[in-house]
Amino acid sequence: MTDIGIKEFFVKANNRLPDEAERVLKALVEEGSMNKEELSLTARVKRAVLDHIIMQLYALGLVEVSTEGKSKICSLTKLGNDFIYLVKAG
């Protein structure tokens, strides 16, 4: 894919994501990695909805989920950072 193709893909993917996904990504950019409970509170997204959104973002390669003890830690990937940059640049 060319850069134009990637940008177009990101824009189309963003249009298909629920509105809450933007709040989740923004929270990860501003606050860094956090567990799902913190992310739910920070992004103001209900926990049941958050799980669905995290799976979509994970499938796109925008977030990474790791386990620390009993907690699931969500982090933005490099692709996630690129996604936010390109979508905001519009």
Domain count along the chain: 1
Range(s) of the domain holding residue 68: 3-89
Note whether 60 and 73 are within 8 A (CB): no
Structure tokens at 87: 């979508």
The tens place of each residue's pLDDT in the chain, 90 residues long, gives 455 688 888 888 899 999 999 999 999 999 999 999 999 999 999 999 999 999 999 999 999 999 989 999 999 999 999 999 888 766
Whole-prediction pTM value?
0.87
CA distances from 19 to 2, 4, 10, 53 (A): 27, 24, 15, 10
Q: What is the CATH number of the domain that holds 74?
A: 1.10.10.10
